């Protein structure tokens, strides 16, 4: 533990006019109050408040904040009370200490306490004096630096709370260095293997490439000198957690991640900052889409800087930040710049903003608001402009990138939940899976046995974890599905020419079409990469016609009927040529043809005399068989037009269209299309599934209870 004189010396480095006696008095009082108390590590407890005060001296904060740090646990953990602290150190310090105590008692990660109310209290406390949160952040930083002394379960709880609340809060307040350290310390607890993996790869990279930072900073200094620009240049490797987050967001391995180095150019003037940008872009190629000018458009916390990414040595991408010294001071200390001292007086930094105004505007806006959830949503939206924090029904916080959807939320909970997701409720209301989540919303994932990830989810998901899991599942499921579907298509196609799809016939077709085996042939057929006609023709070219030929009349499309007997397609399953079918006789009506897998057939199990063995006629059928598709599409201009165009391009005719559900952001509709056979249906559905504005497409079939035929 540093001594009182050492602490005072740290303050005098930036504030020669500090009241050394008051700080010494606070040091003695705090040490006395905490006497006999020890930390989990066995050290005297007062070493913690002293370390918190030392952290705050790095931000050049005023005497009141330093004294508050020394006393921040006295009201909560000792016999001292508000009145005694106020009498001895003044009302300002007493209010600050009391504010820190209230923040500590909020227990922001508690599952038993309503999150919205906790955040309301947190911001109300911060609005009175933001130095309260500065002390609390320094308190959390020291606790995280010494977290190894805690029990493993307590470490995990504190680390999650730090990652979810305190690290983003530090970043939102402009204290980026603190955010990065808090994230990295929490990362060390929550995923030690991942962090060590990043560090090991860094060591390997440095061994292979040498000191890249030293070389690039030297190159930049040389270019700036050539341009006559006086500036400081610094370089560093990004923190392990920052790299890990990029890997997850971009779904890339370490070796493919390029911008893992960051460089900072500090100029004397704003004009020099733009000149430095020009010199760097002349020397290195700028990466498109990676330029941001926060000087002309500052962040709400006062942050100003130019960000660009360029291709450096060996094609490696590096991120460069360019700003003036005054801008740099704000960037380093964030809101603390408002209280920073230099040479005994408050620093007059033109870029430092009064962060209390930001919080005050929120608390004033929602001061009379009874809906705490609405308050939480607005507050978090302001705080975490690049992240989304949502809640499970049990109150657990799930952190996601901006633009995340319920699919990302489900996979963030567990891969199994993500894979079986069939829907979601946001704040109790059923929403489409492509809905963009907002801060503070409660998300309830709906799952079902047998559900598997859909191709359209890749367009919906934004997180690396979700997209990776979806791709893996699709690769496994699609092959099995396509093989099964291909087998049915091949069977039907061979039957059309009076042959059977034997193993030998399929092996011959596989060799002729240069497939590695029968399964690959069937998978390609099922995925519409080849047609059933191609497969049959490769084995029996003499039986397949290359011309259009005569189309089979719908009146004689089914064989196996008795002379003079008519048929009609069942409306419940709408069977198509190429599918296996069963005929059911009706008095005075002829035969109703059902698909072999139709649920309606279960009603006739005890009437075998009504069943007929029928099949579709082989040959070419006209596009005359109505089939209903159920689609969910985005409610955007031109979407419906594109869908209709796609259907027309697949040589299918739309005979009817009905909207069954209209929402602000999506439509659900039934489209009746006229098709030739099941192969055309499959091809059409694959095309629609690939369209980014189609969230879901399915063949509509009525359940037995929805429709009844007269017996």
CATH class of 4-189: mainly alpha
Q: Does pLDDT of 571 surpass 50?
A: yes
Q: Quickly tell me which residue has 């020394």 as its tokens.
A: 70
What pLDDT, on the 0 to 100 scale, is given for residue 5?
Answer: 93
What pLDDT, on the 0 to 100 scale, is given for residue 547?
Answer: 45
Q: What share of the chain is helix, strand, coil (3-state, %, to 5)?
A: 50, 15, 35
How far is residue 233's CA from residue 252's CA, in Å, rounded to a whole number? 29
How far is residue 576's CA from residue 321's CA, in Å, rounded to a whole number? 63
Q: Does pLDDT of 209 surpass 70?
A: no
Closest CA to 245 of 434, 414, 386, 109: 386
How far is residue 353's CA from residue 303's CA, in Å, rounded to a whole number? 9
pLDDT, tens digit, for every residue of 375-411?
A: 444 444 444 445 677 888 887 778 787 788 999 999 9
As to burial, measured by CB atoms within 10 angstroms (0-12 exposed, 13-18 middle, 19+ buried), residue 338 is buried
How far is residue 391's CA from residue 69's CA, in Å, rounded to a whole number? 33
What pLDDT, on the 0 to 100 scale, is given for residue 381?
Answer: 42
Query: What Rg value do the Cα atoms of the chain yield, rounded?
Result: 35
CB 373, CB 439: distance < 8 Å: no
What's the pTM? 0.51
Element (H, E) at 242: helix 240-250
The domain 386-453 having CATH identifier 3.10.20.30: the answer here is yes
In this structure, which CATH number among 3.30.70.260, 3.50.50.60, 3.40.50.1450, 3.40.50.300 belongs to the domain 625-706?
3.30.70.260
pLDDT, tens digit, for every residue of 352-376?
A: 556 556 565 555 544 544 444 544 4
What pLDDT, on the 0 to 100 scale, is given for residue 112?
Answer: 38
What pLDDT, on the 0 to 100 scale, is given for residue 378?
Answer: 45
CB 142, CB 48: distance < 8 Å: yes
Confidence of residue 117 (pLDDT cuts 50, 70, 90): low
Residues 14-37 have a mean pLDDT of: 92
CATH number of 194-346: 3.30.460.10
pLDDT, tens digit, for every residue of 597-655?
A: 888 888 888 888 888 888 888 778 888 899 999 999 888 777 888 888 888 888 888 87
What pLDDT, on the 0 to 100 scale, is given for residue 366?
Answer: 47
Closest CA to 68 of 121, 29, 10, 40: 29
CB 254, CB 201: distance < 8 Å: yes
Q: Which residues are annotated as catalytic?
A: 76-77
Closest CA to 174 of 27, 313, 303: 303
Distance (Å) of CA 433 to CA 470, 502, 591: 14, 43, 42
Confidence of residue 127 (pLDDT cuts 50, 70, 90): low
CB 233, CB 257: distance < 8 Å: no
What 3-state class would DSSP assign to 169?
helix
Q: Read off the tokens for 262.
A: 């960051």
Q: Does pLDDT of 244 surpass 70?
A: yes
Which region among 436-440, 604-608, 668-672, 706-710 has the lowest average model confidence (pLDDT)? 706-710
How far is residue 353's CA from residue 368's CA, in Å, rounded to a whole number? 26
Alpha carbon of residue 334 to chain centroid: 27
What pLDDT, on the 0 to 100 scale, is given for residue 25?
Answer: 95
Confidence of residue 418 (pLDDT cuts 50, 70, 90): very high
Q: Does pLDDT of 258 surpass 60?
A: no
pLDDT, tens digit, for every residue of 280-321?
A: 999 988 888 778 888 887 776 677 899 998 886 566 778 899
Distance (Å) of CA 7 to CA 23, 63, 333, 339: 9, 11, 20, 18
More confident residue, 349 or 445: 445
Which region among 352-366, 489-503, 691-705 has the lowest average model confidence (pLDDT)? 352-366
How far is residue 366's CA from residue 381's CA, in Å, rounded to a whole number? 14
CB 486, CB 526: distance < 8 Å: yes
How far is residue 152's CA from residue 160's CA, in Å, rounded to a whole number? 12
Q: Does pLDDT of 575 surpass 80?
A: yes
Closest CA to 576 of 474, 701, 696, 464: 701
Q: Does pLDDT of 13 surpass 60?
A: yes
């Amino acid at each position: 533990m540093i001594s009182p004189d050492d602490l005072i010396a740290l303050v005098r480095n930036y504030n020669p006019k500090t009241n050394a006696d008051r700080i010494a008095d606070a040091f003695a009082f705090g040490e006395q109050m905490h006497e006999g108390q020890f930390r989990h590590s066995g050290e005297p407890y007062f070493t913690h408040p002293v370390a918190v005060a030392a952290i705050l001296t790095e931000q050049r904060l005023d005497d009141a904040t330093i004294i508050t740090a020394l006393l921040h646990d006295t009201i909560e953990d000792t016999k001292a009370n508000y009145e005694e602290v106020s009498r001895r150190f003044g009302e300002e310090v007493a209010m600050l200490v009391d504010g820190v105590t209230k923040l500590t008692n909020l227990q922001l990660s508690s599952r038993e306490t309503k999150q919205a109310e906790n955040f309301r209290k947190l911001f109300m406390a911060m609005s009175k004096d933001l130095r309260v949160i500065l002390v609390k952040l320094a308190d959390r930083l020291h606790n995280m630096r010494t977290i190894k002394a805690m029990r493993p379960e307590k470490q995990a709880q504190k680390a999650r709370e730090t990652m979810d609340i305190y690290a983003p809060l530090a970043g939102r307040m402009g204290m980026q260095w603190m955010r990065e350290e808090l994230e990295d310390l929490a990362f060390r607890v929550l995923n030690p293997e991942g962090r060590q993996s990043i560090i090991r790869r860094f060591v390997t990279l440095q061994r292979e490439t040498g000191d890249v930072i030293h070389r690039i900073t030297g190159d930049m200094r040389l270019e700036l000198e050539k341009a006559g620009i006086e500036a400081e240049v610094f370089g560093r490797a990004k923190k392990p957690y920052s790299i890990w987050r990029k890997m997850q967001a971009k779904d890339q391995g370490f070796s493919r991640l390029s911008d893992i180095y960051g460089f900072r150019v500090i100029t004397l003037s704003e004009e020099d900052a733009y000149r430095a940008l020009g010199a760097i872009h002349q020397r290195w190629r700028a990466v498109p889409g990676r330029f941001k000018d926060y000087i002309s458009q500052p962040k709400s916390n006062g942050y100003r800087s130019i960000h660009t990414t360029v291709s450096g040595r060996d094609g490696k991408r590096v991120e460069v930040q360019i700003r003036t010294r005054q801008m740099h001071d704000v960037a380093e200390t964030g809101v603390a710049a408002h209280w920073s001292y230099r040479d005994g007086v408050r620093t007059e930094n033109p870029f430092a903003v009064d962060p209390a105004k930001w919080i005050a505007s929120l608390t004033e806006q929602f001061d009379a608001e009874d809906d705490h959830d609405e308050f939480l949503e607005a507050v978090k939206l302001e705080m975490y402009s690049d992240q989304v924090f949502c809640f499970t029904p049990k109150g657990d916080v799930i952190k996601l990138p901006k633009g995340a959807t319920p699919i990302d939320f489900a996979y963030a909970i567990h891969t199994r939940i993500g894979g079986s997701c069939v829907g979601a409720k946001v704040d109790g209301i059923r929403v489409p899976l492509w809905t963009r989540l907002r801060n503070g919303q409660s998300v309830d994932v709906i799952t079902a046995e047998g559900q598997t990830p859909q191709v359209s989810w890749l367009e919906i998901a934004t997180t690396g974890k979700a997209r990776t899991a979806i791709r893996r599942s699709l690769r496994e499921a699609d092959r099995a599905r396509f093989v099964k579907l291909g087998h049915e298509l091949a069977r039907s196609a061979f039957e059309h020419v009076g042959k059977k799809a034997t193993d030998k016939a399929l092996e011959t077709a596989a060799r002729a079409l240069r497939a590695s085996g029968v399964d690959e042939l069937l998978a390609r057929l099922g995925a519409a990469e080849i047609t059933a006609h191609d497969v049959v023709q490769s084995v029996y070219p003499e039986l397949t016609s290359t011309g259009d030929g005569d189309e089979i009349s719908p009146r004689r499309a089914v064989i196996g009927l008795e002379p003079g007997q008519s048929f009609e397609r069942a409306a419940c399953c709408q069977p198509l040529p190429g599918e296996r079918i069963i005929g059911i006789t009706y008095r005075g009506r002829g035969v109703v043809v059902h698909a072999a897998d139709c649920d309606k057939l279960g009603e006739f199990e005890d009437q075998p005399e009504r069943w007929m063995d029928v099949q579709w006629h082989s040959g070419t059928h006209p596009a005359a068989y109505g089939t209903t598709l159920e689609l969910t599409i985005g409610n955007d201009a031109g979407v419906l037009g594109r869908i209709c165009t796609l259907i027309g391009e697949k040589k299918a005719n739309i005979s009817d269209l009905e909207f069954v559900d209209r929402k602000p952001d999506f439509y659900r509709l039934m489209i009746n299309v006229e098709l030739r056979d099941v192969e055309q249906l499959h091809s059409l559905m694959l095309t629609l599934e690939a369209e980014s504005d189609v969230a879901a497409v399915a063949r509509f079939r009525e359940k037995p209870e929805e429709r009844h035929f007269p017996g």
